[in-house]
Amino acid sequence: MSRLSATAILFLALAWLAPPAMAQDVHLGVKSCGSSGCHGQVASSTTNVLLNEYVTWQKYDSHATAYKVLLEPRSQRIAANLGLPNAHEAKICLDCHADNVPEEKRGPQFVLADGVGCEACHGAGSAPWMGLHIGGSPHDQNVQNGLIPLEDPIVRAGICLDCHLGDEDQFATHRIMGAGHPRISFEMDSFTDFQPAHFLVDDDYRKRKRVVDGVRTWAIGQALMVERRMELLADSKFATDGLFPELAFFDCHACHQPMSSSLPTDGGEFPTAWNPRPGTGLGPGVAKFNDSNMLMLEIALDMAAPDLADRMAQHILDIHKASQTSREAMNAAARATKETARQAVEILATKEIDAAAMRKAMETLIEKGSQGYFADYETAEQATMAIGAIIEAMRVAGFVDTAGYEKLSAGMEPVYAAVANDERYVVSRFIGAVQGLAASL
């Protein structure tokens, strides 16, 4: 079959899936992308794209099974705890576990049970970009016609954070987590790597799309995480839950630990318990605001914009002080922090990160980790993902040779192990692991 005839057939198929009268925001379903003539080939293609993207998503990507999770006993128990009939029909669950567009925006082949499908991230298939894409139009033209440019870390973070943190319409509150939902944790560069890539960054890819290194992706992700968190924090919809503030904004492990955690184990180690940490101004017995992303952004800015790094350090102190003062003070601190985070995004979007800057950020993270600055679990978790992202970015950029990369990777294994289970996290083990990593430098 000639290329021309194959393209003609695909246009006919698209016309059947999306009639001309269909609105441009209608989602056609994964079948519109997953045919064997498009992105549904079993093996990768020798063309400039793999063409097995749908198969990779279906077999290996957690987004493909997001809806199925709602049918599991744990999800049904969470729904029951929240007073919902079930999880797989509840909007509060479907908004993140599926491509839950309204009924009128679902094409004839759309299936909600497909989970978080292609269009949830790439955009509605009924938009003009789809026909142009099938016809072989360049990427920038597709973007102009509705394709979401996920290669841009700012755009990608916005899509990811809608579920991996929340927005004004969907947010994992403390009540949802109290009902049994897992704690929300996210770092964009690491989470991108956790899923199997359905694209290949080669010379052709670089010609068509912008490629951003992992360190800048990490830094931009942190800035946007802080901005979004501050936006939600200042939103009156999420301000309080009765007598209490919305506890989803706070460090889970500041409260969720056994009363005996201040006592040593049989091995002489102290499990997770309160530890004084510079930069908070807080004493024991205080529900501590989750500042892990703010801390990471401070370090990222120290690499790219030191004056803003100092400002972010002050914001961290201000947020903690405000959390013990009043709602008005908290709103003011959140708005100021959001503004700095927005400036950080704009700077990081254009800042070139060289080998010296990457190494500076990595050494700062390791130094602070070695000194116990990341004592609480959620900050230790973020720091671990950050160090891993920087090491990988240095490898890709050629800033570290094979022997150095292998040495650093081996040094990271105990660090990963130290944060593998938040309920078994021991501060001294994490500090010791990071100190061991420091020796490998």
Q: Is residue 136 part of a domain?
A: yes
pTM for this model (two decimals): 0.89
CA dist 213 to 216, 305, 396, 441, Å? 6, 18, 8, 22
Q: Which two tokens stand for residue 32?
A: 């519109």
Distance CA 146, CA 323 (A): 41
Query: How far apart, in Å, do the first and last CA atoms of the chain sit?
Result: 57
Distance CA 311, CA 314 (A): 5
Question: What residues contact residue 270 under an 8 Å CB cut-off, 6+ apart?
Answer: 261, 262, 263, 264, 426, 427, 428
Distance CA 15, CA 160 (A): 30
Q: Which of 357, 378, 364 is nearest to 434 (CA)?
A: 364
Helix (H, G, I), strand (E, B) or coil at 245: strand
283 and 138 in one domain?
A: no
Residue 11: pLDDT band by 50, 70, 90 thresholds? very low
Distance CA 49, CA 234 (A): 43
Residue 43: pLDDT band by 50, 70, 90 thresholds? confident
At 250-286, the pLDDT tens digits run 998 888 876 666 556 666 665 556 667 777 888 777 8
Q: Does pLDDT of 46 surpass 70?
A: no
360 and 226 in one domain?
A: yes
Rg (alpha carbons) of the chain, rounded to whole number? 23
220 and 111 in one domain?
A: no
Distance CA 441, CA 437 (A): 7
218 and 139 in one domain?
A: no
Q: Is residue 425 part of a domain?
A: yes
403 and 304 in one domain?
A: yes
Question: What residues contact residue 317 under an 8 Å CB cut-off, 6+ apart?
Answer: 279, 280, 281
Answer with the one of 129, 148, 167 that is the final residue of a domain.
148
If you average pLDDT over every residue of the chain, what do you get?
Answer: 89
Residue 8: pLDDT band by 50, 70, 90 thresholds? very low
Q: What percent of the chain has pLDDT over 70?
A: 90
* C-alpha atoms less than 13 angstroms from C-alpha of 381 in its C-beta half-sphere: 23
At 338-381, the pLDDT tens digits run 999 999 999 999 988 999 999 999 999 999 999 988 989 999 99
Distance CA 345, CA 133 (A): 30
114 and 240 in one domain?
A: no
102 and 249 in one domain?
A: no
Among the ranges 6-20, 114-128, 281-295, which has the highest mean pLDDT value? 114-128
E runs forming strands in 309-411: none
290 and 141 in one domain?
A: no
Distance CA 76, CA 82 (A): 10
Q: Does pLDDT of 176 surpass 90?
A: yes
Q: Does pLDDT of 39 surpass 50?
A: yes
Q: Is residue 389 part of a domain?
A: yes
Residue carrying the six token digits 């961290």: 316
CA dihedral sign, ordered 151, 155, 157, 161: negative
Residue carrying the six token digits 């991230």: 121
Tell me the residue range of the domain where 255 lies. 214-439
Q: Is residue 208 part of a domain?
A: no
At 215-258, the pLDDT tens digits run 999 999 999 999 999 999 998 888 777 888 899 999 988 888 76
Distance CA 441, CA 439 (A): 5
242 and 361 in one domain?
A: yes
Q: Which of 224, 95, 80 is nearest to 155 (CA)?
A: 224
> Contact, 276 vs 239, CB < 8 A?
no
Distance CA 17, CA 110 (A): 10
Q: Is residue 156 part of a domain?
A: no
8 and 122 in one domain?
A: yes
Answer with the one of 122, 148, 174 that is the final residue of a domain.
148
Distance CA 346, CA 355 (A): 21
Q: Is residue 160 part of a domain?
A: no
Q: Which of 144, 186, 148 is nearest to 164 (CA)?
A: 186
Q: Is residue 244 part of a domain?
A: yes
Distance CA 54, CA 47 (A): 16
> Contact, 97 vs 69, CB < 8 A?
yes
Q: Where are the alpha helices (DSSP H) in 29-184?
A: 53-60, 66-69, 73-81, 91-97, 118-122, 129-134, 139-144, 153-164, 174-178
Total number of domains constituting the chain: 2
Q: Which two tokens stand for residue 2?
A: 């000639």
DSSP state of 168: S
219 and 143 in one domain?
A: no
- pLDDT in the model for residue 4: 39
Residue 95: pLDDT band by 50, 70, 90 thresholds? very high
Q: Which two tokens stand for residue 392?
A: 């990988």
Q: What percent of the chain has pLDDT over 90?
A: 71
401 and 254 in one domain?
A: yes
- Strand 244-245 and strand 240-241: pairing? antiparallel
Q: Which of 415, 311, 431 is nearest to 367 (CA)?
A: 431
Element (H, E) at 405: helix 402-418
Answer with the one of 148, 167, 187 that is the final residue of a domain.
148
Q: Is residue 189 part of a domain?
A: no
